[in-house]
Structure 1
Amino acid sequence: MITLNKIGKTFATAGGPLHAVSSASLTVEQGDIYGLIGFSGAGKSTLLRTINLLERPDEGTVHVDGEELTALPLRELRKRRLAIGMIFQHFNLLNNRNVYDNVSFPLEIAKVPRAERRPRIESCLEMVGLSDKAKAYPAKLSGGQKQRVAIARALAGNPKILLCDEPTSSVDPQTTGSILAALQEINRNLGITIVIVTHEMNVVKAICNKVAVMEHGRIVEKFDLREKHIVPQSPIAQYLFKNEIALEREMEASYA
């Protein structure tokens, strides 16, 4: 479904070149909920944004559904991006549009006829439990409601892939659960492949079946979370997993 091969991305800064991502390779299979985790500045969001080429890598290739996106001209790339929805950390809603029109926006950009837009918008709002907020404006919504509007907007174009950049970092812990539940339902019911960036291990453990740990722009370890025993080797992965491993051992001891 998604193959990143030796991705590299460097930014020019006042302090000199910043190597945000270095030789990162990753394979995401259809139906995965794949987590990218690491501390701030690890390169997670930059790597995520290379999947739909919002950040074009300086090195390496991006393949989606067997097609090399990095080789496409801009016009063709725009068409392929319609199959890749994206959810941002800070919602990125249009404040001068109501909920209905926010969800409509990508369909308008794609020149979908108005008559075809309505059932799709209504279906997406129903999917995220916001049918009753169609006429509300973002200023009147809670953080969790705003993020669910953003999810509905990302689903409007019938994507095969959903990229989520820290989707729960701007909401409270209680709302985090509802956002993650919505993403799980989307994955389960629609078969949409999800790649999610987070710095929170509880998010990864809640919904991901696979995870890659990033540090200083590199992928240092990858795990299949469906395996019963996970033994992280790198210091960063050991730190991120330590609470979960300790809890698992404690539970095993209690049943021994």
Structure 2
Amino acid sequence: MKSSSFFYKTLITATAIISSIGLQSCLDDDDNNNYYYNRYPKALVTVKSSIDETFFLQLDDSTTLLPVNLSASPYGDKEVRALVNYEEVDKPSGIYNKAIQINWIDSILTKSIAPDLGDDNDKVYGTDPVEIVKDWVTIAEDGYLTLRFRTLWGGNRKPHFVNLLLGQDPENPYEVEFRHHAYGDIYGEKADALVAFKLDGLPDTKGKTVKLKLKWQSFNGEKSVEFDYCTRRSVNPQSSAITTVRSNFKMK
């Protein structure tokens, strides 16, 4: 799956979409509406499996979705963040909030917080700049920090290395730092990618909502932003496994 490149692919295919409008004229209005509606993600979710191996989606901190047209997760027993296009259907959902039909689902690179390597952090995790994009997919929810970020992508075939580190402020345990290592691939054009980090390395907020501070090195120096964050509640027992899923923009 290649969700991290979705926004970039949308831009570069815009001309083709416009050119194809004439070819779509033979379709009725409903067909046209469905065609364009189904192209775009409707939600950002966490793909999970319950203790009885039921495949479901976590829409937000309290809403669960039961896919009725897929009997198993396309990612096996791995838990990942994903973009999804779906429709609600009038079918039994059991213990889940809503029954849905998935039109398509596209996984996002999903990682844990990286270990602190001390003096080797810069060497291993890099200090190459990015911009964090203010967008509906840049959010802290369901125990994850999902980020849409913008940086330079060139012709270097070596994957960019992106990570989240715990902050160094002893008075703020809810501070994290985004790191990017481009391995010299810094002379191309700016484009966007998505990545999600599981925040189980942070202290339990015990049901309270706190401010999660994210720091990063931008093209104009160090920046930071705060998110509302609450430790993930256990909605249903699920697998704790995490997978890293590559995008068209090579990342690891």
Q: Same fold (TM over 0.5)?
A: no
Q: What TM-score comes out, normalization by structure 1 length?
A: 0.26
Q: Quick check: which one's helix share is greater?
A: 1
Tell me which protein shows more strand as a share of its residues.
Answer: 2
What TM-score, normalized to structure 2? 0.27
